[in-house]
Chain A
Amino acid sequence: MKSLDELKAIREKMQSQIDLRSENEHASTRIVVGMATCGIAAGARTVLKALSDSIHEKKIENVIVTQTGCIGLCQYEPIVEVIEAGKDKVTYINMDEKKAQEIIEQHIIRGQIVNEYTINSKMSE
C-alpha cells in the first residue's frame, strides 16, 4: 500500500460489514423476513439473501435486514415486512428473489410501495 486512497478503498469495502455489528440506532427502516419452517419451505432463505445482497450492492444505509418467526399466514409465505419509522407497516407476500429486488428498488430507494405484492391487494381481491 503506497497511498491513502488504497487505505480508503479497503475501508469502504469493510465498513458496511463492521457497521452491521453496531446496534444501529440510526436505522430508520427494518426489513423483516418471516423465517419459520413454513417460510423457509416456501423459499424465504433466497429472499433474505437477495434482500441483504441488494442492500449491500446498492450501498443503502440506515436499513437493517433481519428475520422473525412465523407471522401466522403460512399460505402467503415467503412474507417480508417493511417497517419504516413513523409509517404503517407494509407486508409483502409470496416473495421471491426478483420481487425482493424490486422492493429494494421501488420501495426502499424510491419510496413507492409495490402495491401488487402487498397483502392488502390479495385481501381485496
Chain B
Amino acid sequence: MYRSHVLVCGGTGCTSSGSVQILKALQDEIDKNGLSSEVQVVKTGCFGLCALGPIMIVYPEGSFYSMVKVEDIPEIVSEHLLKGRIVKRLLYTETVTEEGIKSLNDTSFYKKQHRIALKNCGVINPECIDEYIGSCGYEALGKVLTEYTPDDVIKVITDSGLRGRGGGGFPTGIKWKLAKQNEADKKYVCCNADEGDPGAFMDRSILEGDPHVILEAMAIAGYAIGADMGYIYIRAEYPIAVKRLEIAIKQAREYGLLGKNIFGTDFSFDVDIRLGAGAFVCGEETALLSSIEGRRGEPRPRPPFPAQKGLFGKPTLLNNVETYANIPQIILNGADWFKSIGTEKSPGTKVFALGGNINNTGLVEIPMGTSMRTVIEEIGGGIPNGKKFKAAQTGGPSGGCIPAEHFDVPIDYDNLISLGSMMGSGGLIVMDEDNCMVDIAKFFLEFTVDESCGKCTPCRIGTKRLYEMLEKITEGQGTVEDLNKIEELCYYIKENSLCGLGQTAPNPVLSTLKYFRDEYVAHVTEKKCPAGVCKSLLSYVIIADACKGCTACARVCPVGAITGKVKEVHTIDQSKCIKCGACMEKCRFAAIIKE
C-alpha cells in the first residue's frame, strides 16, 4: 500500500515541456530517499491546465505543483514527501490563499467544469488496465453483455440524447439504430481519431489519458449493432496516443476484454489501429473509410451512408473519440443522469481546447449551455495583458467567429450554428483587439486550400480563388466590389462542394464578413488595417519631436532602412522597410509608431 501518490502529467503538452525528465528525476530521488515502497509515481494523461505544465499533483494532500522543473525535484521529495512540508512556492498560485491551501476543485479553472469524457484523464495511469478497472472500467461492457439486449443499449443511448461530438451533432442513438437495422454478414465499428482542426486536441488527450474507455465503448457499440471488428483511425502525428492505444489493446486482449467470448458470452470483438497520414479531409467519414481500406483518402457522395454501405461495403458505425468516451458513463449512470446535465437539446458536456489570446490555455470540459463569457473569463482566466476581447473562433476552419456582443449566448450545437459558427470538434481560439479578422479568415482559408483533396471543383478552385481575393485585400489592392464577389463565391462553394470540408470552408470568411465587415471595408477603402496586422497596409514612422538620435533603431534594422546622424532625427526609408517592427521594439523614447 502506497501512502502517497505523485501524479505527473504525461500528455503531449507536458511531455514537450519536459515531464519525461521530471518523472525520471522524481523516481531517482524517491529511490535515493528510500521512499519507493511508500510513494507511488504515476504517469497520467492530461490535467487540462496545459499553460502551467509540467504539472504534478501529490495525494492525499492534493497539492498542485505547476511549471515544475527538474531542479525542483529534490526539494519536493525531501520537503513534501519526506517531511510533509508542502513546497508552497511551487504550488499553483491560485490555490495558495491567506486562509491556507485551497482545493484544486475550488479554483476558477476547475470549479465550473464537469468531467465526463475526461473523467480519468490526469487521474489514472493510462498504461495500466488495472487502474482503469479500479475506476469502474469495463463495468459498462459487463453490464450490457449480461443484462442488456442490443436494442436496450440503443434505447439508453437514444434516450440520453447524446449527439456526435466530432462536430456535426448528429444524434448518436439514431446512428447506432441505423447501423443495427442494416442486415449483413459482417459489420464494422470505427472510431474517428483523425483530429485535424488546428488548435483542437481533446481527442488526443482522451486517447493519451484514458485509452481503454474508447476500447470499451467500441465493444459496447459492436454488441449493439452486431459487429465483431473495430478500427481506430488515428493520425500518425499522435505518437503517444498511438503507443498507449497499442498497449491498451494488448492488455485488453490479455484480460479477454477484447477477443473471443468476452465475459463468457457469445459476443466476440476485436480492435485494430489504422494510421492516417494527417490529411484533414480524412476526418470526413467517407474519406476516412476509404483510407482504412487502403485507398486514396477522398470523400464520395452520400447516400449510401456508411450505416448502409461503409467499410469494405459493409454497414459501418463511425463515431468520434469524445462521443465514445461518454458511452460507458451513460450506460453506468443511465440516460436520465446524462440528460440532467447540459441543455434540453444538447445534453451532456463538451470538451473545449482553449487557445489563442487567453491566460489558461488548455483543455476544459463544461456542461452544454455554459456561456462563452464563463468559459473565457472565468475558466480561461481572461485575456492576457489587459487587452480587449474581440471574438472567439469555434469549429476551426469549418467554423466561424463569435463576436463580443454574443458573449453571453449559452454554448450548444444549435446556438452556435445560428450564430454562423459551429461546435466543430471543440477548438476555441480567443482573439483580442490586436487580431485582424481579415487575416484570421485568410489563415483558415490557407489551411483549407492546402487540405482540399481536389476531387470536386468548387472546393479545389473555389477556395483557391477565395484565398487570392483575401490576399488582395490584405495587400491593399482590394475594392468594395471584391467584398460582394467574395460573398457570392462563398455561397457557391458551400452549395456545390461534395463533402463537409468544402461545404464549411467559407464559414470563417462569411462569419468575419458578417460581424466585422467594417474591418474589411477599412482594408479596401481606406487601405488601413485597424488592428495593425497586415504588413502591406502599415508603415513605421519616426516622430521627429521624440527622436533623440540615439541610433539604436538604425543599428537594429536588418535591412539598413533607417538613416540619421548621432543626436539628430532619424528617418525610415519606406521603400526599403520590411516592416519587421524591430526598431519600434528597440526605441526607448517611443518615437517610432505604426500607422
- A residues near B (Cβ < 8 Å) are 1-4, 7, 10-11, 13-18, 20-24, 33-37, 40, 45, 48-49, 52-53, 55-57, 64-69
A-B contact pairs, 23 of them (CB 8 A): A1-B256, A3-B263, A4-B146, A7-B138, A7-B263, A10-B130, A10-B134, A16-B1, A18-B123, A18-B124, A18-B131, A21-B57, A21-B123, A22-B59, A23-B103, A23-B104, A35-B83, A36-B83, A36-B85, A37-B83, A45-B38, A49-B3, A66-B60
CB contacts (< 8 Å) of B256 on chain A: these are 1-2
Separation in Å of the B541 CB from the closest CB of chain A? Answer: 57
Nearest neighbor of B34 in chain A, beta-carbon distance: A45
Beyond A15-B134, A49-B38, list 13 extra A-B contacts (CB 8 Å).
A1-B256, A1-B263, A3-B264, A4-B263, A7-B133, A18-B135, A21-B42, A23-B105, A34-B84, A36-B83, A52-B2, A52-B3, A68-B85
Is B532 close to A, CB under 8 A? no
Separation in Å of the A4 CB from the closest CB of chain B? Answer: 5
Report Cα–Cα, A46/B82, bound state, in Å. Answer: 12
- B residues near A (Cβ < 8 Å) are 1-3, 5, 7, 37-38, 40, 42, 57, 59-62, 82-85, 103-105, 123-124, 130-131, 133-139, 142, 146, 255-257, 261, 263-264
CB contacts (< 8 Å) of A24 on chain B: these are 60
Q: Are A11 and B139 in contact (CB under 8 A)?
A: yes
Separation in Å of the A25 CB from the closest CB of chain B? Answer: 8
Question: Given A17, A22, A57, which contacts B2 in the complex, CB threshold below 8 Å?
Answer: A17
Q: Are A52 and B263 in contact (CB under 8 A)?
A: no
Report Cα–Cα, A19/B3, bound state, in Å. Answer: 12
CB contacts (< 8 Å) of A21 on chain B: these are 5, 7, 42, 57, 59, 123
Question: Given A10, A15, A64, which contacts B60 in the complex, CB threshold below 8 Å?
Answer: A64
Separation in Å of the A61 CB from the closest CB of chain B? Answer: 13
Report Cα–Cα, A17/B138, bound state, in Å. Answer: 18
Q: Are B84 and A67 in contact (CB under 8 A)?
A: yes
Q: Are B61 and A40 in contact (CB under 8 A)?
A: no
Question: Given A7, A10, A69, which contacts B83 in the complex, CB threshold below 8 Å?
Answer: A69
Separation in Å of the A47 CB from the closest CB of chain B? Answer: 11
CB contacts (< 8 Å) of A1 on chain B: these are 255-257, 263
Separation in Å of the B172 CB from the closest CB of chain A? Answer: 25
CB contacts (< 8 Å) of A35 on chain B: these are 82-84
Q: Are A40 and B134 in contact (CB under 8 A)?
A: no
Report Cα–Cα, A56/B261, bound state, in Å. Answer: 35
CB contacts (< 8 Å) of A17 on chain B: these are 2, 5, 40, 131, 134
Nearest neighbor of A52 in chain B, beta-carbon distance: B3
CB contacts (< 8 Å) of B85 on chain A: these are 36, 68-69
Report Cα–Cα, A67/B138, bound state, in Å. Answer: 35
CB contacts (< 8 Å) of B83 on chain A: these are 35-37, 40, 67, 69
CB contacts (< 8 Å) of B146 on chain A: these are 4
Q: Are B84 and A33 in contact (CB under 8 A)?
A: yes
Q: Are B139 and A20 in contact (CB under 8 A)?
A: no
Separation in Å of the A57 CB from the closest CB of chain B? Answer: 8
Separation in Å of the B130 CB from the closest CB of chain A? Answer: 5
Separation in Å of the B92 CB from the closest CB of chain A? Answer: 14
